[in-house]
Amino acid sequence: MNVLLSDGTGSLSITRFIGGKGNKYLLDRYKDQFPKGATVIASGVVERDKYSNKLALKNAEVEILGVLDEGGGIDDLQSQSIHLGRLVPVYALTEGLSLRYLRNVIKNALDAFGEHLEDPIPADIRDRLGLMDLRTALTNMHFPEEPENKDEARRRLVFDELFQIQLLLARRRYKFEQTEGALSIELVENGLVKRLVEKLPFTLTKAQLRVFGEIGKDLASPKPMHRLVQGDVGSGKTIVAMMACLIAVDNNFQAVVMAPTEILAEQHYKQFKERLAPLGLRVGFVVGKQGAKERREVLQDIRSGQVHVAVGTHALLEDAVEFPNLGLIVIDEQHRFGVKQRARLKAKSMTPELLTMTATPIPRTLALTMHGDLDVSEIDELPPGRKPVETKLLRPSEKKQAWTLMKEQIDKGRQAYIVFPLIEESESLSAKAATQEYEKLKEGVFKDYKLGLMHGKLKPQEKDEIMDRFRKGEFHILVSTTVIEVGVDVPNSTVMMIENADRFGLAQLHQLRGRVGRGADQSYCFLVADMKSEQTRHRLEIMEQTNDGFVVAERDLEIRGPGEFTGYRQSGLPDMILADLVKDTPILEDARNTAIELIKRDPDLTSCPGLLKHIERKMSSIEGDLVRSG
């Protein structure tokens, strides 16, 4: 069927193809949709028809405005169109659903039920923040008269999403503080902390002192501590945690430090033992690989209170580990532990204080959304004397540059890492690939050097043995998969080469880069990638531009979005439909401040029943567990 449109200066045709044998009925139905002599608004793509060589309107949308009557005037059929001649909403569709149909349905729903909508946000909050009421916001979100109206409507609906989360977190925290008892642990003047600081071979940074001050206030307060300390790789979080443990010990309490891997736990244990033994304190070590006799002795010493600070892995969660007087729990890389694991450790004492730490910097907006019920402290300063790691992007054909520099550094007595990614998320394939590359390098480029191999299929004991040998300098180069991402500290290593760098997220690349540059010498990191796409190159160039983990995390969030960044599905947060954590920071700040202020003023939300009903639907017992365990 061909329909002809004319505007007095020329004409265009619209073609509709109608299927079926007996199509007279269909043809008549379609003809009724395009009455002869009607005035219309039409939109589509103008193309020249290859058969008739005339202009045609492809993918045409036609809206009838009126029909010419006998006197040449127009009978007004639909002066107020929702599809054409205005700003129109475009929705994601599913098969069988047309854009026009969906617009009509939504318009009818808003017209019929809009006035019955209950606005959960109190009028005084809306007035103070200049927010539209809910009905106006929904109408302007779908059918705005002006572009500005749409933006204001979006601001209101984004505020709703973020305000619900912040209210949930603020209310949860308030309830927790009312029901959970807390210790009040005061910093002892001229006590263990002062003695430790005096013995340190370096001066603490301003950031470390600031964060320690914040922890000290929390411990002294009668409310439970809710603090997440985040700091970049090598920023000195461990010393701050150690000082917090000493406040507990000075008050006759025990402290416990739990880490996700045996490598990291052992590293913490060595540091704690080295610094605390001269102060006359005992540090216990609890991991899964211990022999029965060694395990029995350390558990007995913890039970009798002879161990002041216990350091370990998940093994600390076992029932056999009993503390007579546990005052402080420190959980390192806390996102690596499950909710129930953290809760089990807390259950080993009536009211221990809880300090969580992470070396994976989280952008501020994400921290406020995911950890809105925690106080977040940032150690945003590296110890003096640390030189930024020089990072360079290489194509596979340019690898020789990295190999040459590696050899130069090894000849000066330094060491290096070569890291391969997980392949297809399979530990077995990765182990195989790393093993093959290890053999190639050992027989080829680095045949005159000693190489070690580390991958996830090795037993914990074998991994520890290889790390120990690397630490002692028995290997010049460690070829590894990503198992070295967290907690490997060998100050003598100065070169890191990461193969297939495009397979890693920026945060993970930053963690891996943090394995070098831990001493006073200049260190180097080479990222080897094909860089077939401009986007890959642009993403990896961020690593060349900055050594600041917080900047890397912000850029990573911008590129990947919060869903991928946090694995939302596991984080217990509601899905966000409109909010963008990169662009909506000011709205998030408003939502957070308003929620905290409202809960202080009216903790049970008696003055806002609509709001209470709204968030109670979202509150679950699982989220309660989340809070109890930090």
Confidence at residue 371, expressed as pLDDT on a 0 to 100 scale = 64
Is the pLDDT at 622 greater than 70? The verdict is no
Kindly give the pairing relationship between strand 55-68 and strand 2-6: unpaired
Please tell me the distance from the alpha carbon of residue 59 to that of residue 250, in angstroms, as a whole number.
Answer: 78
**CB < 8 Å & 24+ apart, contacts of 124-133:** 125/594, 125/598, 129/159, 129/590, 129/594, 131/155, 131/156, 131/159, 132/156
Q: Among residues 173, 313, 164, which one has the least CA distance to residue 626?
A: 173
Contact 494, 519 (CB under 8 A): yes
pLDDT range class, residue 370, cuts 50, 70, 90 = low
Torsion sign, CA atoms 558, 559, 561, 566: negative
Three-state DSSP state, 355: strand
Positive/negative CA dihedral, 37, 39, 45, 47: positive
Closest CA to 252 of 202, 338, 350, 185: 185
- Output 71 or 357, whichever has higher pLDDT: 357
pLDDT digits (tens, 9 = 90+) for 221-231: 888 887 889 88
Residue 562, burial from CB neighbour count under 10 angstroms (0-12, 13-18, 19+): buried
Number of H helices, E strands in the chain: 22, 18
At 257, is the pLDDT very low, low, confident or very high (cuts 50, 70, 90)? Answer: very high
Are 5 and 40 in contact by the 8 Å Cβ rule? The answer is yes
Give the pLDDT confidence score for residue 566 in this predicted structure. Answer: 43
Amino acid type, 469 = R
The pLDDT tens digits of the residues spanning 283-294 come to: 999 988 788 888
For residues 254 and 307, is the Cβ–Cβ distance under 8 A? yes
What contacts 24+ positions apart, CB below 8 Å, involve 212-215?
212/240, 212/243, 212/244, 214/375, 214/377, 215/240, 215/243, 215/244, 215/355, 215/377
How does strand 309-312 pair with strand 326-332?
Answer: unpaired
- Beta-bridged to residue 61, according to DSSP, are 43
- The reported pLDDT for the residue numbered 570 is 39
d(CA 14, CA 3): 5
pLDDT in tens, 41-92: 888 899 998 888 888 988 888 877 777 665 555 555 444 567 767 788 888 8
Residues whose CB falls within 8 Å of the CB of residue 564, separated by 6 or more in sequence, listed in order: none
Per residue in 163-215, pLDDT tens? 888 888 788 777 767 766 667 888 888 899 999 999 888 889 899 999 999 99
Q: What is the pLDDT of residue 128?
A: 93
The pLDDT value given to residue 311: 94
Rounded mean pLDDT of 506-510?
Answer: 84
**Residue 165 contacts residue 592 (beta carbons within 8 Å):** no
Backbone angles phi, psi at 255, to 5 degrees: -130, 155
In this predicted model, what pLDDT tens digit does every residue of 307-355 receive, in sequence order? 999 999 888 888 888 888 888 989 887 666 665 666 677 777 767 788 8
Range list of H helices, 330-475: 339-346, 364-370, 399-411, 427-443, 460-471
- On the question of pLDDT at 568 being above 50, the answer is no
Between these two residues, 292 and 616, which has the higher pLDDT value?
292
Question: Residue 408: what pLDDT?
Answer: 93
Q: How confident is the model at residue 620 (pLDDT cuts 50, 70, 90)?
A: low
Helices (H), 492-619: 506-513, 534-545, 549-566, 568-571, 585-601, 609-616
With H, G, I as helix, E, B as strand and everything else as coil, classify residue 477: strand
pLDDT value at residue 407: 93
Domains of the chain, earliest start first? 2-86 (no CATH), 192-379 (3.40.50.300), 390-546 (3.40.50.300)
pLDDT at 564: 45
State residue 567's pLDDT score: 44
Where residue 526 falls among pLDDT bands split at 50, 70, 90? Answer: very high
Q: What is the DSSP letter of 114?
A: G
Q: pLDDT above 90 covers what percent of the chain?
A: 26
Give pLDDT, residue 71: 55
What pLDDT shows up at residue 193? Answer: 92
Residue 99: φ, ψ to 5°: -60, -45
pLDDT at 569: 39
The string of pLDDT tens digits covering residues 450-505 is 998 887 777 777 887 888 888 888 999 998 877 665 556 788 889 999 988 888 88
What are 459's two structure tokens? 């037993």
* Banded model confidence at residue 621, pLDDT cuts 50, 70, 90: very low
Q: Does the structure show a pLDDT above 70 at 560?
A: no
DSSP string, 500-533: TGGGS-HHHHHHHHTTS--SSS--EEEEE----S
**Between the CA atoms of 69, 71, 73 and 75, what dihedral angle is there, to the nearest 10 degrees?**
-30
Q: pTM value? A: 0.67
Instruction: Give me the sheet containing 227-231, strands edge to edge.
Output: 283-286, 309-312, 254-258, 326-332, 353-358, 227-231, 375-379
Over 80: is that where the pLDDT of 234 sits?
Answer: no
What's the confidence (pLDDT) of residue 509? 87
Does residue 601 surpass a pLDDT of 60? yes
Of the pLDDT bands very low, low, confident and very high (cuts 50, 70, 90), residue 436 is confident
Rounded distance, CA 140 to CA 149, Å? 6
At residue 134, does pLDDT exceed 60? yes
**Backbone torsion region of residue 473, taken as left when φ is above 0, otherwise alpha when ψ lies between -120 and 50, otherwise beta:** left
Higher pLDDT, 369 or 298: 298
Q: Is 162 helix (H, G, I), strand (E, B) or coil?
A: helix
Query: Mean pLDDT, the chain, as a whole number?
Result: 82
pLDDT at 364: 66
Residue 233 has a pLDDT of 72
Instruction: Give the range with max mean pLDDT: 64-73, 98-107, 151-160, 425-434.
Output: 151-160
Structure tokens at 513: 């880069």
Kindly state the average pLDDT of the residues 239-254: 93
* pLDDT at site 484: 65
Cα distance between residue 308 and residue 507, in whole Å: 35
CA atoms 268, 270, 274, 279: torsion sign: positive
